[in-house]
Amino acid sequence: MISHSATDSNRRAKRNVLVLVAAQGILGAQMSLHFVLGGLAGQMLVTDPRFATLPITMTVMGSMFTAPVLASIMQKHGRRVGFFIGAAGGAGGASISAYALWIGSFPLFCLGGFLVGIYMSAQAFYRFAATDTASPEFMPTAISWVMAGGLVAAVLGPQLVKTTNDLLSVPFVGAYLAMIALNAVGVFLFFFLDIPKPEKPGLNSPKGRSRMQLLQSPKIAVAMICAMVSYSLMNLVMTSTPLAVFGSGYGTNASADVVMGHVLAMFVPSFFTGHLINRFGAEKIITLGLIILGAAGIVALNGIALTNFYITLVLLGIGWNFGFIGATAMLATAHSVAERGRVQGMNDFAVFGMVTIASLASGGLMNATGATAQEGWTAVNLAMIPFLILAGVALIWFTVQAKSKSQSRGKNAPQG
């Protein structure tokens, strides 16, 4: 039975979730836009095609380095301040990217991508903010609802690519100007957030575990590994997809449509992922996500027809949804309030560190491992295998450990 206080807390949590859903949809559209165009714009600006995806890598790297800083700021000053900083980074990065495209500067375009990473980092904290005022029972649902806001972003981002791509004489500049507008409009949503600032710890307040102690917790370690693998594999394949689609003889609009299908698949399951986690447990949903990611790789390896690209990217999105939301829900129940900023910053630093490596590897695999885009696409999808094995082994280890502890407690329980 849910208590009266939990009901009051969830009422506030639902209001916050609505704000975060809107932010995910409006401001989040810039990420699908940037991931559609970042590699193509990089390929247009750079002389060595192996570095075409470097702007996206810089975005993820910016997110990685920003995550611990934003986590600390939010722990001290509240979520709103951190989200304002994220929107400012997105607008600034888009401005620099547009100017870089106008003058044809690849290094400056990479700098713009790095600053966009500040927004990407802030957006990743939306899912954690959804749990701040939620009861434990409502947490998985709150996370999944916020992630579902990406549906709007999934449609809005690629449509902005199509409608703004040729507005100006230089390709892609109009789209990056649209990114500035998204941040300018979306930032006002954060005034409606009702998340109290964390209380300043007193002299006798519990400080929580150190980072090393937190990493020694099996639940935290496995949740982080599964989040890293789910997100990095999704990024590895998604980053190379526009290059593979274009290199297989299809146009920019086809790339945008495939990515839109992928982003829709990332967020549509969010309407029921939270309920599935509550019913079956985070570990089983993560396992299902890893299996679906593996299925995406199998489809990709079976052809380069446009249908194959669509099916691969849809499966990739669903697999990411189950794996990443499941890992987030698992992590949310593994730490105290005092440890929240430390755990979330450490988690996202690790996740986006792995994603940085994946996005950099994506361009290298696409352009350095084969003479054709098809051979590069094959290499990208084969690269998924060892990471899926790593996450699968980690989950099995955790399940065995948890079962062993449960049986041990049962044996030691007083008999009566």
∠ CA 384-389-395, rounded to 5°: 130
CB of 239 within 8 A of CB of 245?
Answer: no
What mean pLDDT do residues 356-363 have? 79
Neighbours of 31 (CB within 10 A): 23
Which whole number is the average pLDDT over 197-203? 68
Give dist(CA 263, CA 260) in Å, integer: 5
pLDDT of residue 8 exceeding 80, the answer is no
Task: Look at the chain and count its residues.
Answer: 416
pLDDT score at 2: 43
* Structure tokens, 295: 């299925």
Q: Which range, of 166-175, 267-276, 312-321, 366-375, averages the lowest pLDDT?
A: 366-375
Q: What is the pLDDT of residue 204?
A: 64
CATH class of 10-193+210-406: mainly alpha
Q: How many Å apart are CA 173 and CA 28, to the nearest integer?
A: 19
Higher pLDDT, 284 or 150: 284
Residue type, 48: D
On the question of pLDDT at 5 being above 70, the answer is: no
Alpha-carbon gap, residue 192 to 26, rounded angstroms: 15
Q: What is the pLDDT of residue 409?
A: 61
Contacts of 333 (CB under 8 A, 6+ apart): 136, 139, 219
Instruction: Find where tokens 């794996």 sit.
Output: 323
Q: Determine the residue type at 122.
A: A
Q: Which residue has the higher pLDDT, 352 or 311?
A: 311
Average pLDDT over residues 277-284: 91
Integer Cα distance of 328 and 398 in angstroms: 16
pLDDT tens-place string over residues 297-339: 999 999 888 889 999 999 999 999 999 999 988 998 887 777 8
Where does residue 4 rank: exposed (0-12), middle (13-18), buried (19+ CB within 10 A)? exposed
| 41, two tokens | 């714009």
